[in-house]
Amino acid sequence: MVPRMVDRAFRHGTKCFFEKMKIRIKISDFISMILVNIINNFEMMIKLIRNAMNHIISKLLFSASVIFLSLTISLTTFAQWVQVGSAPIGNCDVNSIMVDKNNIFVGSNWNVLMSPDSGNNWLSIGNGVAVNEKAGFAFIDSTILVATWSSLFKSCDYGVSWVPASTGMPSGCDITSVLKVNDNIYVTTLGDGIFLTSGLIDIWCAANNGLPSLYTWTVAFRGDTLFLGTNIHGIWESVNGGNSWSVCTHAMDGNSVITIVFKGNHMFAGTSDGIYHLVYDGVAWNFAGKMLAGYTVNQLIFEGNYLFAGSNYGVDYSPDNGINWYASHDGLPNSYAVKTLAVHAGYLYAGTQGHGAYRRSLSEVLGIGEPEKDTPASLTITPNPAAESITLSISTSSLRITYLVTDPFGKLVLSGLINNSSSRIDISSLRNGLYILQVQEDDTILSGRFVKAQ
């Protein structure tokens, strides 16, 4: 009896135990399921948060990129030529720019304009006086003289009123340039030659004695000599104020000589086919080379040692008397010629055909294109001009350097070896004129020019 009761109790207890275990197992399974769901939801939340953060970060990065790009574009735009002013200068042909004191004067194809604030704002002061291509201005004390398409006008009140000032000149003449030299003023024309006046700019006289043609583009002055650029007959000179003319050079015959500038004994003539370089040897001007072939060079100006050229291709400059040239076109309108150049208050100004005037910081322009050199080699030739011999000073450590001397047309006239960095070369056998000297050390070639003048 007892064993049976014990067995029954054991069976009942075991059954209850397992029933309780089943309940516990079900509860633990339920808890596990809840925990798994929580973990899964948590991972999903983490993924959602991560995706949201990635989206926000990408948006922020995109916005930052846009801001950076905008700043870059803004800075790049600032680092280019910038059009000065809007109306009334915006879309006109700017044929001449002249600076007088703190004011900039512009001669356009429809009026004379003045800016008192470096080109930010412009005033129309010409009352319809249209300035001819390349003609320009002259300032005589408080009087402004301006050349139009077919006549001359002057203003004695800084542009408030204008009166004709071309007595003695043919009616309708095509004026191309104006130059003041001391008390005289010279005006060149296409078809009527050159005219001069003195004093009050009221009566003009023709000054064409000796000229081969009456088609003249520009007149320049150096020392006591006038230089006249003609249409196809080269450059002519006058040592008596324009009373008579004789030929200076035929180097650029067949081309229009549009602009002439000087730097010491160097002459640069801008033509309808590039720039011609001439060097004075004390007797004559000798052809030294041609640059920017194919360009129509409308104006040349010097600022310090830098030569600037405005042409049908834009603006170029040379830091070494035309040996090397660097372009400065960024921001200028494409396919429109630069007609005139001027420097004022640290800026270079360019007048264009059909797009008004532009300006750019000189320091910015001169930082373009020039190669950086840590220790540039140099060649110095003394004396220059020389009669019997020249001395070469070369910044090099080499003891054997080849030198070549050629004439402007490339013909070899002297050659030899230099045994140290300062050597003397005998040039007594050479004829008077300009010569190009080259020295070569390994892969380095240096060049210079000298004038033989007996």
**Integer Cα distance of 297 and 311 in angstroms:** 4
**Integer Cα distance of 137 and 134 in angstroms:** 10
**Integer Cα distance of 348 and 343 in angstroms:** 5
Residue found under tokens 């000073």: 393
- β-bridge mates for residue 343, sequence order: 348
**Integer Cα distance of 87 and 78 in angstroms:** 21
**Integer Cα distance of 369 and 429 in angstroms:** 40
- Domains 83-365 and 379-452 agree in fold: no
pLDDT average, residue stretch 361-366:
84
User: Torsion angle, CA of 192/196/199/200, rounded to 10 degrees?
Assistant: 10
pLDDT over threshold 60, residue 434? yes
How would residue 309 be classed by pLDDT, with cut points 50, 70 and 90? very high
Q: Which helix (H) or strand (E) holds 49?
A: helix 2-78
Cis peptide preceding 383, ω within 30 of 0: yes
How confident is the model at residue 200, as a pLDDT?
A: 60
**Integer Cα distance of 357 and 336 in angstroms:** 12
Output b/e per residue, 201-227; b: 16+ Cβ within 10 A. beebebbbeebeebbbbbbbbeeeebb
Q: Write out the DSSP string of 69-109.
A: HHHHHHHHHHTS-EE--BTBTTTS-EEEEEEETTEEEEEES
In contact, 126 and 119? CB cutoff 8 Å: no
Residue range 4-23, pLDDT digits in tens: 544 554 455 545 544 544 44
Which sequence spans correspond to the domains of the chain? 1-59, 83-365, 379-452
**Integer Cα distance of 57 and 67 in angstroms:** 15
How would residue 225 be classed by pLDDT, with cut points 50, 70 and 90? very high
Show the beta-strand stretches assigned E in 31-83.
Answer: 82-83
**Integer Cα distance of 188 and 338 in angstroms:** 21
pLDDT over threshold 70, residue 447? yes
Among residues 294, 295, 242, 291, the alpha carbon closest in space to that of 268 is found at 291
More confident residue, 193 or 345: 193
pLDDT over threshold 60, residue 300? yes
Q: Which helix (H) or strand (E) holds 61?
A: helix 2-78
How confident is the model at residue 17, as a pLDDT?
A: 47
- Copy the structure tokens of residue 22: 């089943």
Which amino acid, residue 20?
K
How would residue 192 be classed by pLDDT, with cut points 50, 70 and 90? very high
Among residues 189, 194, 89, the alpha carbon closest in space to that of 134 is found at 189
Name which CATH class applies to 379-452: mainly beta
Residue range 82-113, pLDDT digits in tens: 888 765 566 788 888 888 777 888 888 777 88
pLDDT over threshold 90, residue 234? yes
Length, in residues, of the chain? 454
Most confident range, picked from 236-240, 396-400, 405-409: 236-240
**Integer Cα distance of 339 and 354 in angstroms:** 10
pLDDT over threshold 80, residue 371? no
Portion of the chain with pLDDT greater than 70, in percent: 72
More confident residue, 171 or 57: 171
How confident is the model at residue 18, as a pLDDT?
A: 44
How confident is the model at residue 208, as a pLDDT?
A: 96
pLDDT over threshold 50, residue 77? no
Among residues 413, 408, 390, 434, the alpha carbon closest in space to that of 279 is found at 434
Most confident range, picked from 25-39, 85-99, 345-359, 421-435: 345-359
pLDDT over threshold 90, residue 282? no
- CA atoms in the 13 A half-sphere facing the CB of 410: 2
The region of weakest confidence among 68-77, 128-137, 260-269, 340-349 is 68-77
**Integer Cα distance of 427 and 207 in angstroms:** 42
**Integer Cα distance of 353 and 91 in angstroms:** 8
Q: Which helix (H) or strand (E) holds 391?
A: strand 389-394
**Integer Cα distance of 222 and 225 in angstroms:** 5
Residue range 131-170, pLDDT digits in tens: 655 557 777 777 888 887 678 888 887 777 888 888 899 8
Q: Which helix (H) or strand (E) holds 68?
A: helix 2-78
Portion of the chain with pLDDT greater than 90, in percent: 25
CA angle 352, 355, 360 (to 5 degrees): 60
Residue 182 backbone zone (phi > 0: left; psi -120 to 50: alpha; other: beta): left
pLDDT over threshold 90, residue 209? yes
Name which CATH class applies to 83-365: mainly beta
Cα Rg of the chain, angstroms: 40
**What is the average pLDDT score of the chain?**
78
CA separation, residue 340 to residues 232, 310, 312, 357, 411 (Å):
22, 6, 11, 9, 37
- β-bridge mates for residue 386, sequence order: 452
**Integer Cα distance of 281 and 110 in angstroms:** 44
How confident is the model at residue 53, as a pLDDT?
A: 56
pLDDT average, residue stretch 403-431:
82
Q: What are phi and psi of 451, to 5 degrees?
A: -115, 130
pLDDT over threshold 50, residue 229? yes
pLDDT average, residue stretch 430-442:
81
Which amino acid, residue 139?
F
